[in-house]
Structure 1
Amino acid sequence: MDMIQRRIWNENHKKMKEIICKPDKHSKAVQLFLTQHSLVHSSSISTTNQTTLEDSLLSNLKEAIFREYPVSNPDTKNSIAWHLWHITRIEDMTTNILIANEQQVLDTSQYSDSMSIPFKHSGNDMSEEEIALLSSNIDFESLLTYRRAVGIRTREIVSSLTPGDFNLDIDQNKIQRLFKENAVMEKSKWLADYWSKKNIAGLLLMPATRHNFLHLNKSVRIKEKLLKRREG
């Protein structure tokens, strides 16, 4: 995804925000969401013929660059490994628990075991030692497999929503599931409080789309900076 495509993505995100809560625009909003969502995941989960933002990140991504922590970018010191895991966990829990009230993708298979990390939560408020452990230990291919599964499931859930659903508030029982399932740590209660004030539209406008976009952009900048450093 080049700079022109990123600008178009941002423009379409504004359009989606304008129509997503209008029941008479439901079908158009769903299609726009699916387009936006496809561009922040691997092109393998949709029929897009564009190079997605995730495709750009993963192209020629060396494992050493994927794992490097800390990094010296001004807006983050976390590794690409952490960013990919974090956005995938956030999308999984917000879509499957808070929107669909179903089982998280993480718990539908042996993803936790295959990724070789001891964490299930969102990754917010992790210590430096925990981020270092995740960055060095997480299995790259298993993470990508998990991420693809989450993306596919999100698309299924959003496609099943009906007119008016985007305006539904988030049930507090679903918020409590986040803590019961160790998806959000008690010290990250602020995150659950933030989501509790959103409706379904709000979750799709941020965790499932823009949150991915922001962290993937950070990761691309990390990759480019580290590649330039190695080549220099």
Structure 2
Amino acid sequence: MNTEQRHHWNAQHKILSGIISLTDEHAKAVTLSLELHSALYASEGRSAEQTTLEDSLWDRLLESTLRSYPVRTPGSRNSIVWHLWHSARIEDITMNILGADREQVLHTESFADRLQIPFPHSGNGMREQDVAALSREVNLEALAEYRRAVARRTRSILSALKPGQLGMKATPAQFERVREEKAVLDSEQWLMDYWGGKTFAGQVLMPATRHNFVHLNKAMRVKQKLQK
């Protein structure tokens, strides 16, 4: 994804923000959500003309660059693998528990074990030594597969939405699931409060699209810094 494509993505996301809560624009909002989401995650075999932001990140990316921590770049000290893992975890939690009330992708296909890290939470409020351990130990193949699986699940959820569902909020029982599954650290109640104020439309606009865009850009800055 080049600079022109990023500007286009931002412009389209602004359009989505204006229509996503309108019931009579439901079909257009879902279509645009899917397009914006697809432009971020790995392309999974699509043609070279459809290079995504994550494709650009992985291109000629060294493992040493992926795992480097800490890295001093604007807005973040975290490793590329942390950004990839964290953004996928946030999407997994919000789309599946708070949105569709489904099982997290983390708990399917043995991802919790295959990632080879003992962190079931979102990564918010994470201790530096834990970020270092994750950066060093996470299984890269499993991480890439986990991100693809999260992306596929989100698209299936979005595609199945009915008019009016984007205006719904998560129930107390769904937030209790987040706590029971230790998907958010106890110290990060602010995040639960933030999500509590969002409709499903708000979750699509931030965790599923904008949040990923932000973290992939941060990861790209790390790559550019370390692989000049």
**Matches of 1:45 and 1:225 in 2, distance apart?**
28
CA drift at 1:130: 0.3
Contact map agreement 1:45 1:151 (CA 8 A) in 2: no
CA drift at 1:171: 1.1
**Matches of 1:45 and 1:156 in 2, distance apart?**
18
**Matches of 1:206 and 1:192 in 2, distance apart?**
14
**Residue aligning to 1:110:** 110
Structure 2 residue identity aligned to 1:87 = S
**Residue aligning to 1:207:** 207
**Matches of 1:106 and 1:136 in 2, distance apart?**
20
**Matches of 2:184 and 2:178 in 1, distance apart?**
6
Note closer, same or farther for the CA distance 1:201–1:47 as it changes in structure 2 (3 Å cut): farther
SS in 2 for 1:43: coil
**Matches of 1:108 and 1:139 in 2, distance apart?**
16
Q: TM-score, normalised by structure 2?
A: 0.97
SS in 1 for 2:169: coil
Structure 2 residue identity aligned to 1:187 = S
How do residues 35-74 of structure 1 correspond to structure 2 at under 5 angstroms?
Answer: 35-44=35-44, 49-74=49-74
**Residue aligning to 1:156:** 156
How do residues 135-214 of structure 1 correspond to structure 2 at under 5 angstroms?
Answer: 135-214=135-214
Q: 1:99 aligned to 2:78? A: no
**Matches of 2:188 and 2:18 in 1, distance apart?**
30
**Matches of 1:68 and 1:224 in 2, distance apart?**
13
Contact map agreement 1:45 1:152 (CA 8 A) in 2: no
Structure 1 residue identity aligned to 2:163 = P
Q: TM-score, normalised by structure 1?
A: 0.96
Structure 1 residue identity aligned to 2:215 = H
CA drift at 1:74: 2.3
Structure 1 residue identity aligned to 2:136 = S
Q: Can you list the C-alpha shifts for 1:186-217, whole angstroms capped at 9, x where unaligned?
A: 10111111001100000000000000000000
Structure 2 residue identity aligned to 1:172 = P
CA drift at 1:40: 1.1
**Matches of 2:157 and 2:47 in 1, distance apart?**
17
Structure 1 residue identity aligned to 2:93 = M
CA drift at 1:47: 8.2
**Matches of 1:90 and 1:175 in 2, distance apart?**
14
CA drift at 1:46: 7.0
Note closer, same or farther for the CA distance 1:21–1:214 as it changes in structure 2 (3 Å cut): same
Number of aligned residue pairs: 228
5+ residue gaps, structure 1: none
**Matches of 2:140 and 2:72 in 1, distance apart?**
22
Structure 2 residue identity aligned to 1:147 = R
5+ residue gaps, structure 2: none
**Residue aligning to 2:78:** 78
**Matches of 1:121 and 1:48 in 2, distance apart?**
35
Note closer, same or farther for the CA distance 1:9–1:47 as it changes in structure 2 (3 Å cut): same
Q: Can you list the C-alpha shifts for 1:78-100, whole angstroms capped at 9, x where unaligned?
A: 00010000000000010000000
Note closer, same or farther for the CA distance 1:45–1:18 as it changes in structure 2 (3 Å cut): farther
- Identical-pair percentage: 50
Q: 1:128 aligned to 2:143? A: no
